[in-house]
């Protein structure tokens, strides 16, 4: 009698823990990717400000994205001479990503603009 109740309790806690991790993963990836995007945009912005080299700044952004297992979706120079980038990264999921309604949650995309300009 007590073992049946205990098994249900353990399974319930395990299921809740699994769902918590599944739901938290995209949030964690978004926070990490946001910091990464701002860091890369600032580095590219420094190159733009100091050397005015758009291609060199773009290369820095592409390498930075690759180091962090992200994809550089867009790179542009604003009218103020700032680097504006968009990064994309897939969040890991074992279950919810396979459900069509939740699929977009796990494709995390963040845009950042560098602090410095001309």
pLDDT digits (tens, 9 = 90+) for 72-118: 999 999 999 999 999 999 999 888 888 888 888 999 999 999 986 55
pLDDT for 103: 86
Q: What is the pLDDT of residue 67?
A: 96
CA separation, residue 113 to residues 14, 75, 85 (Å): 41, 10, 6
- Give residue limits of the domains in the chain: 2-113
User: Among 59, 7, 65, 74, which residue's Cα sits nearest to residue 33?
Assistant: 65
Q: What number of CA atoms fall less than 13 Å from residue 14's CA on the CB side?
A: 6
pLDDT at 23 over 70: yes
CA-wise closest residue to 52 among 7, 6, 83, 85:
83
Q: What is the C-alpha to C-alpha distance for residues 69 and 92, in angstroms, rounded to an integer?
A: 12
The tokens for 75 are: 């790179």
Tell me the per-residue pLDDT of 51-64, one tens digit each, with 9 for 90 and over: 889 999 999 999 99
Q: What is the pLDDT of residue 96?
A: 81
């Amino acid at each position: 009698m007590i073992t049946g109740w205990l098994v249900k309790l353990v399974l319930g806690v395990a299921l809740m823990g699994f769902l918590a991790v599944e739901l938290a993963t995209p949030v964690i990836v978004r926070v990490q990717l946001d910091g990464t995007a701002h860091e890369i945009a600032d580095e590219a912005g420094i190159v733009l400000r100091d050397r005015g080299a758009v291609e060199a700044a773009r290369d820095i952004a592409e390498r930075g994205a690759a180091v962090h297992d992200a994809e550089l979706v867009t790179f542009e120079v604003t009218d103020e001479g700032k680097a504006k980038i968009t990064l994309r990264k897939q969040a890991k999921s074992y279950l919810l990503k396979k459900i069509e309604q939740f699929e977009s949650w796990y494709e995390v995309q963040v845009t950042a603009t560098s602090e410095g300009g001309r």
